[in-house]
Amino acid sequence: MSKPTYEELEKRVRELEATLGRVFDEAMSAEESELFELEILFNISVALASARDLDTLLGIVIDEVNKALLTEGAGVLLYDEHRGDLYWRLVRDKRAILDSQKAELRIPLENSIAGWVFRNKKPARVNDTSKDPRYYPDLTRKSGFEIRKVLQAPLSTRDRTIGVIMAMNKIGGDFTDQDEALLSSMAASIALAVDNVTVYQQLKKSMDDLQMLYRASMALATTMDLDQLLEFVLAELNRAMETEAAGVVLYDERRGDLYWRAVQDEKGLITKSASALRLPLDQSISGRVFQSGEPALLNDPGRHPLFYKPFETRSGFVIRNEVIVPLHTREKTIGVLVVINKKEGQFTLEDVQVCSSLAGVVALAVENAMFFEELLGSYRELEGLNRAKSKILNHLSHELRTPLAIIQGTIATLQKKLKEMGIEEFDRHLKRMAGRVESLNRLASQVESIMMTGYSWERRMITGFLDAALTLMEVQTERTPEIEHAASVIRRWLEKTFPTHRDELALLNVKEFGEKMVSVCRSKAEAEQRQVSLKSDLENTACILIPRDVLEIIMEGLIRNAIEATPDKGRVDVVGRVQDDRYILKVKDTGIGIPEEDRELIFEGFYSVQDTENYSTKRPYSFNAGGKGIDLLRIRMYSELYGFKLSFTSTRCPYLLDALSKMPGDVAHCPNCTRLEDCVKSGGSEFVVDFPLAEKGAVVQRKSKSGVEASGGDRSRKRRVDD
């Protein structure tokens, strides 16, 4: 007897299956058959009530269908709203042929039995597919799974049909009315369960999306590192949307195209070749989204006329579907956010909305990072300019010293020789030259003072550290000449690198000191024949700790600037009051005021209210005098060093715009003022210095002794507290 062929064996198996099927149907009574169906429906009901995962639910249902109807295979087809056809959500057959190919085995609504069932919302029982014109033969041709008999029922909910359940190739006979009734009963419950699970999954996805947006927003507030932030955001986006890749593509203004600023993909294909994957604006979908500002939902991007095919060629990454949304800032569009290849199913409009919401966070992060980088660049540039300015000022102060000393000595020698010769006609000219040289000497001293003050913080920090280190060495070992020599070298180096004078704090009564300074300033103003009312009203109970020369610079600088800004017949008031633990000193003038656009520059140094060519004189205390603008810069630097606060308010005289070149130096000569009150109301400035009061113990100690020792600085050095 010859060995049977595979076809003969398969035929015998089918005959046996058919025989068993008939025997099973004949052996089972009507009552037993009803109980069997109830058991099947009960099993499905239990699965429907317990399962939250759609694939788990459908797996149980399909197994029960195959068992109940004795079929070779069964599956669930769902409707794809974007492509308008049916796709296998889950399918099982004995030889596992269909499941492995389900992604390619989509079924159209037209010219298919499943499409007819879906559209008409009625079941279909076909026991010979070759004779039914609705049969879709490509399903068998593509898969290799022969479908001879089919029973299908629509999956309908209250308001819509979501798909079709299909049983294929009944074993041992044809599908019957009883089979159709059973499958239809199953379909109603399955449709409701699928709808519920879908809603549950949508709600869960919405919650996940909201949590993702929340975490991304929180990350924005925790870091200014754009790379770190985008890495976190893209990882969250891939996880929440279950995609293979996501990226941020920004516009390059210099090259006029789009480049990948950040990207995360599972296989690393895009990341590896990101620098070569630039996208042109006019030949890519991303470019269209960037230019139009409208998002794009693409579940088959390869068919789009602007699909940029070189992207796939260069990266090796195949794009099945994608969502692209623009990145808008307050002023412009800076790029696009891209998510690629949903792992299951297709992208939806809800996905577009989520991406658009996240795009706002990403755009804000990119914009903030750009602003931060620009600000940091500007700060570094400003620091460089500031260092250059410091070097220039330092060089200027040192270079002026020698020639000025020579010129000053030469003038003194000339004066002496001419006096001995009895020549007097050059006295006035030599006196003017000497005055100018003295002014330059004063400028050099002021510049040097500013440079010294600017370095004091750095010097104190470093010397403090070295003093502590030296003390530690002295404790650990005996004092040796080597240690003393090393310390001496270090201190000489510091003195050379961070030049500064040693300012000693003094306990000063503001009223006593201030009235003396007001008297000095009044005398200097009168020497310049100024007619400005200078009055003081200083509270008598306040003492502050500050170097004497520093307080002198502060008071004289503010009072002199006030007098120089005030025309004759004007008024300058110096007022001091105690407020809690502070002493508030105010210097107020009725002068021309400071232009609003220049107020931020007032403490930056070398600033004057008038341009140099408009100065009426070059002498201090003259109205509109040609000051160098250094006083306020020095006072600001002292405020940082000694812990007091400096502020001002100002009102610019509105009449200066009409008569800038012929500004009167006397209120009486101003055509817009008939009395002093008119000038007071039209302009003026008030500078406020907020000093911390000395501690009460220091004040009591000062009252009990005419002079006491005050500790501070080097332990071996003692200083006298001044009245």
DSSP 168-200: EEETTS---HHHHHHHHHHHHHHHHHHHHHHHH
Q: Count the domains in the chain.
A: 4
What pLDDT score does 424 carry?
77
Pairing relationship of beta strands 71-80 and 85-93 according to DSSP bridges: antiparallel
What pLDDT score does 398 carry?
60
What mean pLDDT do residues 449-471 have?
Answer: 53
Q: Are residues 475 and 511 in the same domain?
A: no
Q: Are residues 153 and 36 in the same domain?
A: yes
The enclosing H or E element of 504 equals none
Question: What is the DSSP code (8-state) at residue 505?
Answer: P
Q: Does residue 421 or residue 537 have the better pLDDT?
A: 537
Q: Are residues 410 and 552 in the same domain?
A: no
What pLDDT score does 66 carry?
82
- 651 domain residue, yes or no: yes
Q: Quick one: the chain helix, strand, coil %, rounded to 5?
A: 55, 20, 30
Residue 87 above 70 pLDDT? Answer: yes
Q: Are residues 23 and 150 in the same domain?
A: yes
d(CA 584, CA 27): 110
Q: Are residues 294 and 262 in the same domain?
A: yes
Q: Are residues 252 and 301 in the same domain?
A: yes
Cα distances (angstroms) measured from residue 461 to each of 450, 466, 471, 640:
18, 9, 16, 15
Q: Are residues 33 and 116 in the same domain?
A: yes
Q: For residue range 140-195, list pLDDT tens digits in order.
A: 888 888 899 999 999 988 778 989 999 999 887 888 888 888 888 878 777 877 77
- 217 domain residue, yes or no: no
d(CA 150, CA 113): 9
| Host domain of residue 133 | 6-203
Assign 516 a pLDDT band (cuts: 50, 70, 90).
very high
- 595 domain residue, yes or no: yes
- 1 domain residue, yes or no: no
Portion of the chain with pLDDT greater than 70, in percent: 68
d(CA 290, CA 359): 13
- 63 domain residue, yes or no: yes
- 456 domain residue, yes or no: yes
Q: Map residue 121 onto helix, strand or coil.
A: coil
What pLDDT score does 477 carry?
47
The enclosing H or E element of 288 equals helix 285-292
Q: How many CA atoms lie within 13 A of 716 on its CB side?
A: 0
d(CA 168, CA 92): 10
What pLDDT score does 517 carry?
93
Asked if residue 336 lies in contact with residue 291, where contact means CB atoms within 8 angstroms, the answer is: no
Q: Are residues 649 and 520 in the same domain?
A: yes
Q: Does residue 191 or residue 444 have the better pLDDT?
A: 191
Q: For residue range 709-723, list pLDDT tens digits in order.
A: 333 333 333 333 333
Q: How many CB atoms sit inside 10 A of residue 340's CB?
A: 24
The enclosing H or E element of 651 equals strand 645-651
Assign 302 a pLDDT band (cuts: 50, 70, 90).
confident
What mean pLDDT do residues 285-292 have?
Answer: 92
Q: Are residues 680 and 561 in the same domain?
A: yes
d(CA 536, CA 510): 11
Dihedral (CA of 674, 675, 681, 684) sign: positive
Q: Residue 365: name the closest of 334, 398, 320 by CA.
A: 334
Dihedral (CA of 126, 128, 129, 131) sign: negative
Q: For residue range 63-80, list pLDDT tens digits in order.
A: 878 887 888 899 999 998
φ and ψ at 480, to 5 degrees?
A: -125, 155
Assign 392 a pLDDT band (cuts: 50, 70, 90).
low
Q: Residue 324: name the closest of 230, 268, 245, 269 by CA.
A: 245
Assign 230 a pLDDT band (cuts: 50, 70, 90).
confident
Total-model pTM: 0.39
What mean pLDDT do residues 197-201 have?
Answer: 67
What mean pLDDT do residues 503-513 have?
Answer: 87
CATH number at residue 70: 3.30.450.40
Q: Which residues pair with 649 in a beta bridge?
A: 686
Q: For residue range 527-538, list pLDDT tens digits in order.
A: 888 888 899 999
Question: What is the DSSP code (8-state) at residue 118?
Answer: H
Domain boundary residue among 441, 470, 497? 497
Domain boundary residue among 497, 517, 534? 497
Asked if residue 300 lies in contact with residue 289, where contact means CB atoms within 8 angstroms, the answer is: no
Domain boundary residue among 497, 515, 543? 497
Asked if residue 520 lies in contact with residue 597, where contact means CB atoms within 8 angstroms, the answer is: no
What pLDDT score does 722 carry?
37
Assign 475 a pLDDT band (cuts: 50, 70, 90).
very low
Residue 491 above 80 pLDDT? Answer: no
Q: Does residue 9 or residue 126 have the better pLDDT?
A: 126
Q: Which two tokens stand for residue 590?
A: 């009725």
Dihedral (CA of 657, 661, 663, 664) sign: negative
Q: Are residues 313 and 293 in the same domain?
A: yes
Asked if residue 678 lies in contact with residue 672, where contact means CB atoms within 8 angstroms, the answer is: yes
Residue 657 above 70 pLDDT? Answer: no
What is the C-alpha R_g of the chain? Answer: 46
What pLDDT score does 288 carry?
93
Q: For residue range 254-275, list pLDDT tens digits in order.
A: 899 999 988 988 888 888 888 8
CATH number at residue 688: 3.30.565.10
Q: Are residues 520 and 606 in the same domain?
A: yes
The enclosing H or E element of 235 equals helix 226-241
What pLDDT score does 712 carry?
34
- 704 domain residue, yes or no: yes
Q: Are residues 343 and 231 in the same domain?
A: yes
d(CA 316, CA 503): 72
What mean pLDDT do residues 593-619 have?
Answer: 58
- 213 domain residue, yes or no: no
